[in-house]
Structure 1
Amino acid sequence: MSTEAQRVDDSPSTSGGSSDGDQRESVQQEPEREQVQPKKKEGKISSKTAAKLSTSAKRIQKELAEITLDPPPNCSAGPKGDNIYEWRSTILGPPGSVYEGGVFFLDITFSPDYPFKPPKVTFRTRIYHCNINSQGVICLDILKDNWSPALTISKVLLSICSLLTDCNPGDFEAWPALPPSQLKWNLLP
């Protein structure tokens, strides 16, 4: 046997009677490990940021468990995918309101400062309402100056349902007056 053949036979990938196919697999796995390492270096975050993420993520996880077990009436909410900070919510038009029979989709975005800063909640479904503008932005005091860390997404969704039942002209957003018969629900672009 040549010296080169002995080196191949003594290598860790071929000892123990492995086949040529195993050699190719181990050779192909090496570059994958090398590619992963730089990503870890690029993703460094400060300990302060990590603590914020940890606090907010724990709170969001807790709220997710609560809303899954006991959702507010006519509402549902949860993460869009793997990102705990991006949620999708569905609200059914409150019975007895002009929105009865409507199905409304909302986006909920949490910041790393949650629950000390309010989530950003916007309608994805086009809706005519004096407190919701044409881009789906909701004019609701608890999503702005009256936010409190004691509030939860369940309470926010209940407040939005209440807003759909009773318009609050004090928080009026510029919408022309349309009769309820002309209301249409479409997804915003």
Structure 2
Amino acid sequence: MTTSSSSSLSLASTSTWVSTTSVSSSGKRIQREMVELNMDPPPDCSAGPKGDNLYHWVATIIGPPGTPYEGGIYFLDITFPSDYPFQPPKVVFRTRVFHCNVDSSGNVSLEIIKDNWSPALTITKVLLAIRSIFTKPDPYNPLVPGIARLYLADKAKHDELASEWTLRFAK
């Protein structure tokens, strides 16, 4: 019985050691980006770890002036993979938003966190890119084709609905 317990303990220690080692390099990168983000935050954006989990952040983006999202407070979850920065973070809107590049589950259609990801990119650049979809939506690569069609066919109606959603869900 002692041998079995000892084997389990040894296996657990080995497993923890491997996990800690792989977390270390990505964790250092995430910590460095957190310091840089706090020292020089992008306009109308903030982000940081949720609790003590360095790999799960909460971000806030304020809707830019002159857009139907103006003044809205948009919350996002950011999850860093264990092999960050070699794989992109997963970004999900937690605030509902009427936007052709954000689906009803909060997933974002943004090339830099998908096919165009590069380890040279940082979470600050990701936040700026997400903020930019409020001023420059991409109706040609939509997650919600109906909203994209409305944007292209009747921008005034699109903006009216986006403003209503901003008032309802983001203020």
- Is the TM-score greater than 0.5? yes
The Cα of 1:173 is off from its aligned counterpart by 1.2
> Is the contact made by 1:133 and 1:175 (CA closer than 8 Å) also made in structure 2?
no
> Is the contact made by 2:63 and 2:71 (CA closer than 8 Å) also made in structure 1?
yes
* Mapped partners of 1:164, 1:43: distance in 2: 47
Is 2:73 aligned against 1:128?
no
Correspondence for 1:147 among 117, 129, 139: 117
Gaps of 5+ in 1: 1-37
Which residue is 1:12 aligned to? none
Larger radius of gyration: 1
* Count of aligned positions: 150
* Mapped partners of 1:71, 1:90: distance in 2: 11
Q: Deviations over 1:135-162 (max 9, x none)?
A: 1100000110100000000000000111
* Mapped partners of 2:161, 2:135: distance in 1: 17
SS of residue matched to 2:140: helix
SS of residue matched to 1:171: coil
5 Å-filtered alignment, 1:30-49, equals 42=12, 44-45=14-15, 49=19
> Is the contact made by 2:98 and 2:161 (CA closer than 8 Å) also made in structure 1?
no
SS of residue matched to 1:161: helix
The Cα of 1:48 is off from its aligned counterpart by 5.1
> Is the contact made by 1:90 and 1:106 (CA closer than 8 Å) also made in structure 2?
yes
* Mapped partners of 2:10, 2:131: distance in 1: 43
SS of residue matched to 1:133: coil
Gaps of 5+ in 2: 1-7, 151-156
The Cα of 1:174 is off from its aligned counterpart by 2.0
Which residue is 1:83 aligned to? 53
Counterparts in 2 of 1:122 and 1:43: CA distance versus 1, 3 Å: farther
* Mapped partners of 1:91, 1:40: distance in 2: 45
Correspondence for 2:39 among 69, 91, 95: 69
Cα root mean square deviation, aligned: 2.1
* Mapped partners of 1:43, 1:70: distance in 2: 39
Counterparts in 2 of 1:100 and 1:109: CA distance versus 1, 3 Å: same
Report the structure, 1 or 2, having the larger helix content. Answer: 2
Which residue is 1:137 aligned to? 107
The Cα of 1:50 is off from its aligned counterpart by 3.3
Which residue is 1:96 aligned to? 66
Is 2:151 aligned against 1:181?
no
Which residue is 1:59 aligned to? 29
SS of residue matched to 1:164: helix
Structure 1-normalised TM-score?
Answer: 0.73
Which residue is 1:30 aligned to? none
